[in-house]
Amino acid sequence: MEKQRVVYFDNASTTPMSNEVYREMIDAYGSVYGNPSSIYKAGRDAGELLAKARERVAKAIGAKPSEIFFTSGGSESNNWAIKGIAKANRDKGNHIITSAIEHPSVLESCRALEREGFKVTYIPVDEMGVIKYSEIVKAIGPDTVLISIMTANNEVGTIQPIRAIAELAKANEVAFHTDAVGAIGAIDINVKEIGIDSLSISGHKIYGPKGVGVLYVREGLKIQKLIDGGHQENDMRAGTENVPAIVGLGKAIEEVTENIEENNKHLRSIRKYFLKQVSTLIHNISLNGHPTQRLQGNASISFEAAEGEAVTVMLDREGICVSTGSACATGLNAPSHVLMAMGKEVEDAISTIRFTFSKYTTKEDIDYMAERLRKIVKKVRSISAIRIYKNKVEL
């Protein structure tokens, strides 16, 4: 039997690992097993690998190595930043500002704090997914201790004005956290230049391994620990470090930040080709997110009256991996909170597919997908409850 081709357009969910990352990890697995906290040679060897990775991450974002803390991933980093900064500044105030389109690890951390008596303002976005800056200005009060706004949105690719928001936070003596998981490697980020107090990174969104991340914490920032225990990570995050994964993250961030322009050039051309193919073959579609202020690797498209869940399942049968713009809750096709915040109708939100590309995506991948997608969208529309409900015959 012929092996089915797999075409992967879901790089915002996770990226494949780069070969160089893999190689450095295998070396680390094969040669270094010591605990980096041990004082004998095997431990020191592991400690050296940690130090090197820390330097690589620091260099990639313009921080000091002592400001880099390894975690279990982007979710932990966001939990730590939000809960840790809020609680450490509880004497100053109990108000947090975030946006309506953050990743669940940010939104749910805020909800957890609300249950503990914190007040949270969820800033709305415009129809292109840009956070309303003027609403942040209005929301800041004497009790505000933290503003958390993502650098770029993972569903529609819109890049947020974090420089202006960081300045605003600073002027008001409020800490500024940003979830940069989707932005690292896509845009140049220098934490000192922008004025970021804490920033989250994840390994598996930048061609690195899963289950490892970073929280950058500006020197002097008031933040509580999230994981209590031993004295690892300068006594800020307990637990024996996952050395090979950290080595992989270090290599991954070095690779992506050294090749931002080259990768963006590739992604821009892939995206352009993709949009041309899809818009030629399929009608009644709309593109979500900001036209220019955006990640090049993301194309979120609403296919009128073609339920995203059905399209995704049918594409899977052809070996094509995409995801819906929606969080799939217990088998229900729940509309995406991001698309709803952008003012989409429910039926358009649930008829949305997110295609996310990588440095490995080729035009052949898109050619393979385009005609199959056309047929599938046509088929789904022919049986679509939305179409019948809205009395639309021609699509």
Ligand X SMILES: *Cc1c(COP(=O)(O)O)cnc(C)c1O
**204 vs 381 by CB, closer to ligand X:** 204
* Residue from the set 36, 84, 129, 182 that interacts with ligand X by CB under 6 A: 182
**277 vs 324 by CB, closer to ligand X:** 324
> Cα(153)–Cα(130) distance, rounded to whole angstroms?
9
Question: Residue 311 carries which side chain, given as an amino acid letter?
Answer: V
* Residue from the set 89, 98, 105, 323 that interacts with ligand X by CB under 6 A: 105
Smallest distance, Å, CB 103 to ligand X?
A: 3
> Cα(103)–Cα(154) distance, rounded to whole angstroms?
8
Letters for 273-312 (x = contact with ligand X by CB under 6 A, - = none) are ----------------------------------------
110 as an active site residue: the answer is no
**208 vs 335 by CB, closer to ligand X:** 208
Residue nearest to ligand X according to CB distances in the complex:
74
**94 vs 257 by CB, closer to ligand X:** 257
Site membership for ligand X, residue 205 (CB under 6 A):
yes
Among residues 328, 383, 385, 388, which one is catalytic?
A: 328
**75 vs 144 by CB, closer to ligand X:** 75
Smallest distance, Å, CB 346 to ligand X?
A: 23
Site membership for ligand X, residue 154 (CB under 6 A):
yes
**181 vs 245 by CB, closer to ligand X:** 181
Smallest distance, Å, CB 93 to ligand X?
A: 25
Smallest distance, Å, CB 297 to ligand X?
A: 12
* Residue from the set 24, 179, 241, 254 that interacts with ligand X by CB under 6 A: 179
The pair of structure tokens assigned to 234 is: 């300068």
**36 vs 157 by CB, closer to ligand X:** 157
Site membership for ligand X, residue 252 (CB under 6 A):
no
Stretch that binds ligand X, among 36-44, 88-96, 198-206, 357-365 (CB under 6 A): 198-206
Site membership for ligand X, residue 150 (CB under 6 A):
yes
Residues between 70 and 89 with contacts to ligand X, criterion CB under 6 A: 73-75, 78
* Residue from the set 181, 341, 373, 377 that interacts with ligand X by CB under 6 A: 181
Q: For the chain, what is the HEC assignment? A: CCCCCCEECECCCCCCCCHHHHHHHHHHHHHCCCCCCCCCHHHHHHHHHHHHHHHHHHHHHCCCHHHEEEECCHHHHHHHHHHHHHHHCCCCCCEEEEECCCCHHHHHHHHHHHHCCCEEEEECECCCCCECHHHHHHHCCCCEEEEECCCECCCCCEECCHHHHHHHHHHCCCEEEEECCCCECCECCCHHHHCCCEEEEEHHHCCCCCCCEEEEECCCCCCCCCCCCCCHHHHCCCCCCCHHHHHHHHHHHHHHHHCHHHHHHHHHHHHHHHHHHHHHHCCCEEEECCCCCECCCEEEEEECCCCHHHHHHHHHHCCEECEECCCEECCEECCCHHHHHCCCCHHHHCCEEEEECCCCCCHHHHHHHHHHHHHHHHHHHHCCHHHHHCCCCCC
The site for ligand X, by CB under 6 A, has a size of 15
Q: Please report, as ranges, the residues that interact with ligand X according to CB under 6 A.
A: 73-75, 78, 103, 105, 150, 154, 179, 181-182, 202, 204-205, 213
Active site residues: 328
